Amino acid sequence: MATNNSQHISQQFEQELQDIRSRVLAMGGLVEQQVSNALKSLKTADVDMARSVMEDDHLVNDLEMKIDEECIQIIALRQPTASDLRLVTVILKAITDLERIGDEANHIANKALNLKDVERPKKNYRELSSLGNHVRGILRDALDAFARLDVDAALNVARESEEVDEEYESFMRTMLTYMMEDPRTITRVLDLMWSARALERIAAHTRNLCEYVIYLVEGKDVRHLSVEHIEKVLDRD
């Protein structure tokens, strides 16, 4: 009887962990959609879409709070150890990064509202769209790596995040040139630069998600390490 009861408790615990992982992935999907819609609203001057991104922020915040509460209950009642404890710890960290990605999407949507009545350049923010597409891509890949617990995929995203950094720096140099050549563009360009900064922060939080995957699967803390160092730690060089 005691054995059956233990098995029942174990099955309940496994289901709780699976449920909480599913909630995190749902939160990730919501945040990914926010980023996508924010970028679309910026490119197309879609005021309604920009406002919807900002209005939906409470959904992300609510998910963060619910998942956080569930994790605390699991720690208090189940007292997880080893890999289970790593999973709960990673989830607590991941939802913080996802919430902040949502905040950055809000910042982009806010800039879209600022720019809705501003004369648009011929390229229609092509450089920012390119950066945005790159960031959206690595966020999607990071969430997929998290869902599949794929270390190699997570490592690829970490490599891509470094390319995003380079693209961001190039974009900022281009924007500074625009302002120097034509001071009339300063207001518009500053909003674009703040949007690019938000994308750079999204990429940084995305990389964090990949580091959590590596920690969860390999048990190795690779925060603050370069990709080259991570590859050595994981014996991937």
Decide: 234 and 220 in contact? Cβ < 8 Å. Answer: yes
| Of the candidates 200, 188, 10, 190, the residue with the CA atom closest to the CA atom of residue 116 | 188
Distance CA(105)–CA(111), nearest Å, equals 10
For residue 126, give every residue at least 6 positions away whose Cβ sits within 8 Å of its Cβ, in sequence order, or none.
none
| Range name among 10-14, 21-25, 174-178 with the lowest pLDDT average | 10-14
Q: Identify the pLDDT of residue 10.
A: 78
Helix ranges, the chain (H) = 2-44, 47-55, 57-78, 82-115, 126-148, 151-181, 186-218, 227-233
Q: Identify the pLDDT of residue 159.
A: 95
Residue 90 has pLDDT above 80, yes or no: yes
Q: Identify the pLDDT of residue 4.
A: 61
Q: Identify the pLDDT of residue 126.
A: 87
| H or E element that contains 121 | none
- Residues comprising the chain, all counted: 237
Locate 83 and state its tokens.
Answer: 């890999």
Locate 105 and state its tokens.
Answer: 């999407």
Cα–chain center distance at 96: 10
Decide: 112 and 192 in contact? Cβ < 8 Å. Answer: no
Residue 211 has pLDDT above 60, yes or no: yes
Residue 8 has pLDDT above 60, yes or no: no
At 173 the three-state DSSP class reads helix
Distance CA(112)–CA(114), nearest Å, equals 5
pTM of the model: 0.92
Residue 185 has pLDDT above 90, yes or no: no
Distance CA(56)–CA(35), nearest Å, equals 12
Distance CA(191)–CA(120), nearest Å, equals 12
Q: Identify the pLDDT of residue 122.
A: 64
| H or E element that contains 87 | helix 82-115
Q: Identify the pLDDT of residue 84.
A: 93
